[in-house]
Amino acid sequence: MLRRDDLLFPMEEYERRLDALRHRMGAHGVEALLVTDPEGMHYLTTYQTIGYYYFQALVVPLESEPFMVVRLLEESNVVTRTWIEHCRPYLDTEDPIAKLVHSLEEFGLDKRRIGYDRKGYFFRAHEQEKLFSLCPNAKFVECSGLVEEGRLIKSDHEIALMRKAARAAEAGMEAGINAVTVGASENDVAADIHYAMYKAGGEYPALSPFVASGPRCLIGHATWEGRAIEPKDCVMLEIGGCIQRYHCAMMRTVYLGEPPKPLKEAEAVVLEAVQATMDTIRPGITAKTADAVNRSIIASNTIGAGQATRSGYSIGISFPPDWGEGHILSLQPDETRLLETNMTFHLIPWIQIPGLGVMALSETIRVTETGCESLLGFERKLFVRE
243 in a structural domain: yes
Give the number of other CB atoms < 10 A from CB of residue 96: 20
Measured between alpha carbons, how far is 325 from 346 in angstroms, rounded to an integer? 9
Tell me the pTM: 0.96
8-state DSSP, 315: B
237 to 16, 193, 350, 353, 362: CA distances (angstroms): 38, 10, 12, 16, 11
Q: Closest Cα to residue 67, out of 83, 49, 46?
A: 83
CATH number at residue 282: 3.90.230.10
Our measurement of the distance from residue 374's CA atom to the centroid of its chain's CA atoms, rounded to an integer in Å, reads 17
Q: Are residues 174 and 313 in the same domain?
A: yes
Asked, for residue 221, whether it belongs to a domain, the answer is yes
Q: How many domains does the chain have?
A: 2
Instruction: Write the CA distances from 147 to 11, 232, 237, 290, integer angstroms.
Output: 18, 47, 32, 25
- Intervals of the chain under pLDDT 50: none
Residues 217 and 366 in one domain: yes
Q: Are residues 210 and 297 in the same domain?
A: yes
Tell me whether residue 224 is in a domain: yes
- pLDDT in the model for residue 306: 87
* Residues 255 and 234: beta-carbon distance below 8 Å: yes
CATH number of the domain at 116, please: 3.40.350.10
Strand ranges in 133-245 using DSSP code E only, listed in sequence order: 139-142, 210-213, 234-243
Q: Based on the fold, state whether residues 141 and 165 are members of the same structural domain.
A: no
Residue 60 C-beta-side C-alpha neighbours within 13 Å: 27
- Using only C-alpha atoms, the chain has a radius of gyration, in whole angstroms, of 23
Same domain, 97 and 206: no
Measured CA to CA, the distance from residue 105 to residue 116 in angstroms comes to: 17
Choosing from 151, 168, 201, the residue where a domain stops is 151
Q: Identify whether 325 is part of a domain.
A: yes
Residue at 212: amino acid letter: A
Q: Does residue 127 sit in the same domain as residue 194?
A: no
Domain boundaries, position 33: 11-151
State residue 12 phi and psi, 5-degree precision: -60, -30
Query: What distance in Å separates the CA atoms of residue 263 and residue 354, rounded to the nearest whole number?
Result: 11
Q: What is the largest CA-CA distance in the chain?
A: 70
Residues, the chain, total? 386
Residues 6+ apart with CB under 8 A from 231: 182, 256, 257
Distance separating alpha carbons of residues 313 and 327, to the nearest angstrom: 8
Residues 77 and 112 in one domain: yes
Q: Are residues 78 and 119 in the same domain?
A: yes
Cβ neighbours of 204 (radius 10 Å): 13
| Span 98-113, pLDDT tens digits | 999 999 999 999 999 9
Of 367, 318, 374, 381, which Cα lies nearest the Cα of 173?
A: 381
How far is residue 340's CA from residue 336's CA, in Å, rounded to a whole number? 13
Q: In this structure, are 27 and 88 located in the same domain? A: yes
Measure Cα distances from 292 to 91, 259, 274, 318, 348 in Å.
Answer: 52, 29, 12, 27, 13
Write the DSSP string, 107-120: TT-TTSEEEE-TT-
Q: Is the domain of 242 the same as that of 277?
A: yes
Given this model, what pLDDT does residue 254 score?
99
- Residue that terminates a domain, selected from 135, 151, 167: 151
- Domain boundary at 136, 151, 166, which? 151
Q: For residues 160 and 147, state if they share a domain.
A: no
In angstroms, rounded to a whole number, what is the distance separating the alpha carbons of residues 301 and 297? 7
- Statement to judge: residues 51 and 18 lie in one domain: yes
The Cα 340–Cα 338 span in angstroms is 6
Q: What type of residue sits at position 11?
A: M
- Residue 352 placed within a domain: yes
